[in-house]
Amino acid sequence: MKNYKKIVVLTGAGISAESGVRTFRAQDGLWEDHRVEDVATLEGYLKNPQFVLNFYNNIRQKYCLENIKANTAHQALAKLEQEFSGDFLLITQNIDNLHEQAGSKNIIHMHGELLKARCTHCMQVFDWDKEMHVHDICQNCQTKGSMRPNIVWFGEIPFEMDTIYDALFEADLFIAIGTSGHVYPAAGFAEEAKQAGAYSIELNVTASQQQSNFDKIILEKASISVPLLVDAIVAK
């Protein structure tokens, strides 16, 4: 592989699925057997806040606090960040903390994180590893009942989009891992990077809907393909 200077990696559900994390299924609109309208929209939250908080309490416990472990794909990306001498940015659509668990540092959770909460009154974001309740009080502004999961719900704008587009514009290598290519804006990142001149690689179990925007597509489980690709990059 040639010598790259700026790498941007995008990860999606596929990389965490191998660690046992179940994610939203676009085909039937269900997430953990719930309708996304009920558990992943502002309208659903306003209609029944504690029901929605309980949903996140449940998956926070299951996917962040119990025995879910990062796999070899997460570990390889942490190694790439550590050993690559150029700029490296990891963008994930996943809300679990498996990348952090593996040791990744420069990471954007564009759809938010299960282990963060924010106050809808003062907008302060907090680390959060306990249950959330409708009567929780913001530790910054002391407002009662203003805390919500720091998750980007359907209809809301993903986090740090300016930083992401700047990085895509400057990248010379873009790698998408385990992402379906259905969900925008992430589905458009490969095209952005390619148009700006990056070489683009897709690692997936089945090809995404963005095939034409990739120079190379490797159809294989992430736990196998990512370590091989990382070794090829850092060997340079």
Q: Which residues contact 18 (CB under 8 A, 6 or more apart)?
A: 71, 73, 221, 222, 223
CA separation, residue 29 to residues 33, 37, 136 (Å): 9, 8, 30
What is the nearest approach in angstroms of Zn ion to the Cβ of residue 134? Answer: 15
Is residue 188 within 8 A of residue 25, CB to CB? The reply is: no
What is the nearest approach in angstroms of Zn ion to the Cβ of residue 143? Answer: 5
What is the nearest approach in angstroms of Zn ion to the Cβ of residue 114? Answer: 20
What is the nearest approach in angstroms of Zn ion to the Cβ of residue 150? Answer: 13
17 membership: H or E segment, kind and range: helix 13-17
What is the nearest approach in angstroms of Zn ion to the Cβ of residue 19? Answer: 33
Specify the residue, 119 or 152, whose C-beta has the smaller distance to Zn ion: 119
Report d(CA 134, CA 146) in Å as an integer.
Answer: 8
Task: Give 39: exposed, middle or buried? Use CB within 10 Å, 0-12, 13-18, 19+.
Answer: buried
Q: Is 121 a catalytic residue?
A: no
- Interface contacts to Zn ion, rule CB under 5 A: 119, 121-122, 138, 140-141
Specify the residue, 76 or 151, whose C-beta has the smaller distance to Zn ion: 151
- Phi-psi group of 20: left, alpha or beta (phi > 0 → left; psi -120 to 50 → alpha; rest → beta): left
Specify the residue, 90 or 117, whose C-beta has the smaller distance to Zn ion: 117
**Which residue spans within the chain are E strands per DSSP?**
6-11, 30-31, 34-35, 87-92, 107-109, 112-119, 125-127, 147-151, 173-177, 199-204, 216-219
Single out the catalytic residue among 74, 99, 111, 121: 111
Specify the residue, 103 or 145, whose C-beta has the smaller distance to Zn ion: 145
Specify the residue, 141 or 228, whose C-beta has the smaller distance to Zn ion: 141
| DSSP character string of 95-113 | -SSHHHHHT--SEEETTEE
- Provide the annotated active-site residues: 111
